[in-house]
Amino acid sequence: MKPTVLAALVVLAVIGVVDWPTEAVDFADRLAPPSSAHPLGTDQLGRDVLARVLGGVRYSLGLGLLALAVAVAVGTASGLASGWWPRHPLARGTQALVDVLVALPALLVGLVVAAVLGSGLTAALFAIVATGWAPFARQAHRLTVAVRGEDWVLAATALGAGPARVLGHHVLPAVASPLLASVAARFAGTVLTLAGLSFLGLGVQPPTPEWGAMLAEGRTYVFVAPWLVVAPAAALVASTVALGWIAQTRRTCCATR
């Protein structure tokens, strides 16, 4: 990974842990345009938009990373199990479910799950995990099937290693690199899904400074104070483009090894 990318990730991590004054209200300074005091202006309650955009890193990227981590864990575990025992009825059922979920748009499935569970952070995270685990399960299944017949796997089995040890100590390290190569690309999709759910009122709720929720709040004032929409939209676009570039860099590095 290039030093500039690593530096950018460190900066984002620092931004995410700082306690920004996102809820400081000043009714005397409502809908103020960008100025030296407020570089990105203020919102309808007089809150500093820059502080809220920076505070949104913790929610838009932090919660997205949390949901992605759970999705990766669930998908990898189910893919390893179904790839090791491909003829088991449960494995076949899992792969059939994966085929259905992969064929459907993630946001559509997320909308259905969030609508059933209700709005809120927990429902949004569950919806993202419910849609995000399937691609990792399919990839882990395919990779496990490909390596389960390799000599080193057969040797470990012949020496008496149980399935859990073979999968954890031999198969998982072999399939981890291709799985990690797709995490950054999925991360961008996860951030967009979370923002979409929040924008539609099914995800993170105001006044939490999540970028999708900020877009939903700011659209009412788009002609009066366009910075309320431009600022979170720019942060969302910049982060997803950067994550896509990181994913492409990761794929290139894996391909050249």
pLDDT tens-digit readout, 46-76: 999 999 999 988 888 888 889 999 999 999 9
The CATH number for 23-29+40-256, chosen from 2.60.40.10, 3.30.70.20, 2.40.10.220, 1.10.3720.10, is 1.10.3720.10
Q: What is the pLDDT of residue 217?
A: 92
Q: Are 83 and 145 in contact (CB under 8 A)?
A: yes
Percentage of the chain exceeding pLDDT 70: 89
pLDDT tens-digit readout, 78-114: 999 988 888 888 888 988 999 888 888 777 877 787 7
Rounded distance, CA 168 to CA 162, Å? 10
Mean of per-residue pLDDT scores for the chain: 84
Query: Where do the structural domains in the chain lie, given as residue ranges?
Result: 23-29+40-256
Rounded distance, CA 129 to CA 61, Å? 15
Task: Please say if the pLDDT value at position 128 is more than 90.
Answer: no
Rounded distance, CA 53 to CA 50, Å? 5
Q: Of 44-48, 125-129, 161-165, where does mean pLDDT reach its minimum?
A: 161-165
Q: What is the pLDDT of residue 215?
A: 94
Q: What is the pLDDT of residue 5?
A: 59
